[in-house]
């Protein structure tokens, strides 16, 4: 029989649990940058593990020397990135935005007028497609410079924390066995083997995934640069860089990149004839971007998804779709790594389940 004392104790425990959960969330919010540094360090560690093993087994490096070598490579890559892209992003980002919203608005409205003229020549009701007054009231032209400033600011802030990231990564690589031994003390003996096997498989699969993802983005960046250079689009590197970064978002990212490239192509050719120059050039750029996506979808992505995380493309598509509807863009980005972790854990703990056997047969 439930007495008033038992009921009161239950309510107090529930309130206490809610308070502790709120305090924990507040604490995590306060240290969000530390968590981001740790997450980036884990990704760099997963990328560095295969290289570490190569240095140790093939080149006979000692563990500490191999770790220092990997950190040196990371530093050289980061310095190269800073020297090549940070000044480029800042200078060309200012060229794109000019921090001049009035000029952007003027160019965009001029482009709309040219499109209206083109449509009227072909007996299409331009007002049904574009209404300049409505366009001005709906579109916030501050979004473009604000977006570019956010990108530059994010990279700058990340650069400030790079020292912390590299410091954490060094010890993640150097003392990986110590962390594993420490984890063994916290793991119940009955599940120790399964958990350690899961961690090892997750390390291997995610290492291959992140290395493949970096290679994919680099290939897409090079191809975008070639397409934009062929058609004489200004600010080639910054546009290609932004479009390649957008490719991290599965399926939706390439679509956004194509729209961004089309808009910037049209704006960059203002003053030219819309029908004979602006429209054909934009169409050619879009065709080039779609060809890049065909190459990416048929070469890069199958290697990453099928080879690195041992999942069928349709399986990955459904997982990303569900994650996108449930958690938005962030869900789409982290869907594949999280799904891979879940698959490995399920295979270790529920190996006799027929559904799990079906989806993990290649792991």
In a domain, 273, yes or no: yes
In a domain, 214, yes or no: yes
Rounded distance, CA 363 to CA 361, Å?
Answer: 6
Identify the domain containing residue 244 by its residue range. Answer: 187-363
Residue 276: pLDDT over 70: yes
pLDDT digits (tens, 9 = 90+) for 140-184: 555 555 655 565 555 555 566 778 888 899 999 888 888 777 777
In a domain, 3, yes or no: no
In a domain, 25, yes or no: no
Residue 280: pLDDT over 60: yes
Mean pLDDT score, 107-116: 70
Residue 250: pLDDT over 60: yes
Rounded distance, CA 86 to CA 94, Å?
Answer: 12
Residue 201: pLDDT over 80: yes
pLDDT digits (tens, 9 = 90+) for 115-124: 777 777 766 6
Residue 127 is predicted with a pLDDT of 59
User: Which comes out higher in pLDDT, residue 196 or 19?
Assistant: 19
Assigned token pair, 132: 């300049």
Give 204's contacts (C-beta < 8 A, 6+ positions apart): none
CA-CA-CA-CA torsion for 171, 172, 175, 180, nearest 10 degrees? Answer: 150
In a domain, 220, yes or no: yes
Residue 98: pLDDT over 50: no
Residue 99 is predicted with a pLDDT of 43
Residue 136: pLDDT over 60: no
Assigned token pair, 346: 């399920």
Question: What does pLDDT average to over the chain?
Answer: 78
Mean pLDDT score, 265-279: 74
Residue 23 is predicted with a pLDDT of 92
Residue 216: pLDDT over 70: yes
**Does the reported pTM lie above 0.85?**
no
Contact in structure between 180 and 199 (CB atoms under 8 Å): yes
In a domain, 200, yes or no: yes
Mean pLDDT score, 110-136: 64
In a domain, 157, yes or no: no
Residue 13: pLDDT over 50: yes
Domain count within the chain? 1
In a domain, 96, yes or no: no
């Amino acid at each position: 029989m439930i007495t008033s004392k038992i009921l009161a104790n239950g309510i107090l425990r529930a309130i206490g649990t809610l308070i502790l959960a709120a305090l924990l969330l507040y604490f995590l919010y306060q240290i969000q940058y530390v968590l981001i540094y740790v997450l980036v360090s884990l990704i760099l560690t997963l990328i560095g593990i295969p290289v570490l093993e190569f240095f140790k087994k093939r080149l006979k490096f000692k563990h500490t020397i191999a770790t220092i070598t990997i950190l040196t490579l990371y530093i050289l890559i980061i310095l190269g990135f800073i020297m090549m892209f940070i000044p480029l992003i800042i200078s060309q980002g200012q060229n794109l935005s000019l921090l001049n919203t009035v000029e952007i608005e003027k160019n965009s409205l001029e482009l709309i007028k040219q499109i209206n003229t083109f449509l009227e020549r072909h007996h299409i009701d331009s007002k049904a497609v574009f209404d300049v007054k409505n366009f001005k009231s709906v579109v916030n032209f501050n979004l473009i410079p604000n977006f570019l400033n956010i990108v530059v600011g994010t990279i700058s802030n990340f650069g400030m924390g790079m020292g912390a990231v590299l410091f954490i990564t060094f010890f993640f690589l150097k003392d990986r066995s110590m962390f594993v031994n420490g984890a063994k003390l916290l793991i119940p003996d009955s599940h120790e083997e399964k958990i350690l096997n899961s961690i090892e498989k997750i390390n291997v699969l995610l290492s291959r995934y992140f290395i493949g993802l970096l290679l994919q983005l680099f290939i897409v960046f090079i191809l975008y640069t070639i397409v934009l250079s062929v058609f004489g689009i200004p600010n080639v590197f910054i546009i290609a860089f932004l479009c390649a970064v957008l490719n991290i978002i599965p399926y939706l990212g390439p679509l956004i990149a194509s729209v961004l490239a089309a808009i910037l192509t049209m704006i960059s050719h203002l003053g030219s004839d819309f029908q004979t120059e602006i429209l054909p050039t934009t169409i050619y750029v879009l065709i080039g971007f779609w060809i890049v996506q065909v190459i990416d979808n048929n070469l890069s992505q199958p290697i990453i998804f099928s080879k690195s995380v041992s999942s069928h493309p349709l399986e990955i598509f459904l997982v990303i779709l569900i994650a996108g509807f449930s958690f938005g863009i962030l869900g789409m980005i982290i869907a594949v790594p999280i799904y891979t972790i879940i698959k490995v854990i399920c295979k270790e703990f529920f190996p006799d389940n027929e559904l799990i056997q079906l989806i993990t047969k290649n792991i």
